[in-house]
Structure 1
Amino acid sequence: MARSTWRRVAAFGAGATLVLATSGCLQSSDDDGGGGGGGGVSSGEKEDGTVTILGAFGGAEKAAFEESLAAFEEESGIDVEYTEDTDFTTTVVQRVEAGDAPDIGLFPQPGGLLDLSEDIVPLDDVIDVSAIESTLIPGFLEAATKDGAVYGAPMRMAVKSIVWYPKPAFEEAGYSTEVATYQDLVAESERIAADGTTPWCMGWESDQATGWVGTDWLEEMVLRVAGPEVYDQWVTHEIPFNDPQIVEALDAAGEILKNDELVQGGADGILNTNFADAMTPALSGGDPSCYLHRQGNFATGFYPEEVQADLDGTVGTFYFPAYEGGYDGQPVLGGGDLAAAFMADDPEVEQVMEFLTSDQFGAEWAGAGGWLSPHATFDASTYADETTRTIAQSAAEADVFRFDGSDLMPKAVGSGSFWTGMVDWIGGQSSQETLDAIEASWPSS
């Protein structure tokens, strides 16, 4: 999902944003001045006892965030002033360039954070990084690292490696969720099809962003077929977009996606069904006309109200499985909001950053729903339902977490040729032709 589409997706029920930023230079918070790139940076004078935060989420998410800070504020005596801005990515750059950066920014995509790295205080200068490394799901800090320095840490996680199904109907039909490998998943899909129901619910239509759902499928398969090291090389273009390992991964995805017997409506159905409506045929009452849906934890926001009111009773989930003969581990694809400090050498900012990025933050938000902790050690009993706990557990047990690859690619690819290329591919173009075309579109510098 490119340019933080998981956050854009959430816009249907909360705040949304795209992240694409350029750097600016700010005055140091001390009297001696100083530049970025490891030095002190700030937004100028700061009111004692107050820490300002800029982020993208509003509405119910804002209320849950502020509630999660209330006890900390009372105990610490620090007044945290949160400002929402759905155009966060533009606003944060403008404020940085104007010398009016917030004390802390909550970035929904690592690319935008790293674009401003010269103006952000290195994380080592703000918190004890080793303390959170021991509790974080592996992979988050790597996404916020540039030239050996870490600039942000997660305070929220999204998980995408999930397969959803309508629980009562699926269990009554006797289908299995115990699929150890992708090959098992294909076999179970074929079993469902043989019984007369198309197994997969699918929708890629998303206006100008049509195709992003397909990019998620390829990213899932690259992680499983080739592994996280190759995934990282692919995302950063250390290997070409059309490397043979990526061709193999896309062909593997095609075993489901390009089989019209396994996907409702075939290619036409995929491209003409809005991503938010993909699971509706499985949950609208009566006998499902499809059963399985691969989508992130935010998918529940699009389900019928009666389903949302009883997630545990109406839907089930299982982990998108490993690929036999591929990576020998359990990877998770997802996203997250990363906290970064613009104010250096300020104990109050450091206290807030330490709390936000710890496994102690978020219990109230977890109880309200719609939030996942990036820490494997977070108290899962605070989540609102068993469905969310199961998703959180699958991420906590992961061997490695990787951010959505298209979010990390150049915009021309990640939210451009990659999207349109997947549309061409599902429409009949071969994997090799599709990946060759995307590779040719990669910016030369």
Structure 2
Amino acid sequence: MPPSPAGPPPADGLLSAARRNLRELAHGLSHASHPPTPLFAESPRRWLRLLPYAVVVALTAVFVPVTIDVLTSDYEVPGGLAGALAVGQAVPMLMLAHRPLQAWWIVFAVDIVGALVLLARPEPQGTIWPWTPPGVVGYLFVLLALGLRESRRTVIGVWLVTGAAGLTLHLIAPVRSDGGALLLFVLGAVVLVIGASVRERSEAQRRLVEQWTISESERAQRTLLEERTRIARELHDVVAHHMSVITVQADSAPYRISGLSEETRAEFASIAAGARESLAEMRRLLSVLRSDGSRGELAPQPGLDRVQQLVEATVRAGLPAELSLAADVADAVERGRVPQAVDLSAYRIVQEALANVVRHAPGARTRVSVTMLDGHLTVLVVNDRPQKPGPPLEESGTGHGLVGMRERVRLTGGTLDTGPLPDGGFRVAARLPLPPPRPPSASPHPEDL
């Protein structure tokens, strides 16, 4: 059988929900939802941090004499009693900067006392009751401070308590009440809604800034991981080449060297098998690092021997660039004395630096120099300020360029120095360590034979 439709909720359920809501409202009215810190406390501007204090001091200085004058002249309250009521209604405004809920309790209680005091006095002509005009305006400022600082539950509780107090005073003296309680109830609702809207908008903006900061951090981390993956894919060819050489040498050793024992032949076979297994693992690793749907590059990885072609292509693209490649660097590259990881990293650093100049400083004269000194390979790319500054080809870069340079330099154990120049240009300097030269007793390089 189909289930019967749910009937009305039981009475005990409604009562328990009502009691729970009343407890929450009471807790909201008795406990502030924020620490006792003023508005704009975290602002970097000093004048903005002092602004809430200046406002509450100005409000207190205005409302104390105005309230005394209205009570004595319009309501014919004795001067001493008028001064006490004015102090009780206006001085707590000094707490609005950091403790608005406590200030509201004091002002609310004093306003009730003031209404009872006025009730005992003869009714003057042309006045409102139970709240005086200065009391209404001051109370609205208190409600505005509450709306800006407190939670929605507290704001609703304050509004309901204000309405209940006005209704109670109206029932006490219905003949004397002329709509002052209703006026404060309606205006208070408007002010509370305005304050709460401003507070929630500020809270939303704060959360948006936090999310933006988190997104920027995640984007930077993702960029770093993408660059590391790309570098790992490029270095795969370098490592695979060395592993292939080991495999070939181990396989051909029994045929090139005569008189080897069976143990030695087995050792060379084991080395070749290990090298093949390592090479297969490298290929599997590369398949994991490669993006979905992408294919591996078949061309060999570039090096410093192709920097001249890179600079020439950049010149053809419209960037005035010149290259200074030291003779000892060219000789070391030609003889294979520069490690392939360093060779590839130097080429990529020059490539990224020239790409950044094209993107962010089109037309700037650029100088590229590669030197070798004290066991280090130094790559220096300096661009001048553009002769005819114009908008960059890319308004916002991805940040991959400098991130990739840092990762490549870190991979080789070198150092990277980047930054603007006093004349408006930019400088990229990378210092990559080179292995120490081989001792004379070492076997000569094949190209040296």
TM over 0.5: no
Give TM-score scaled by structure 1 length.
0.22
Give TM-score scaled by structure 2 length.
0.22
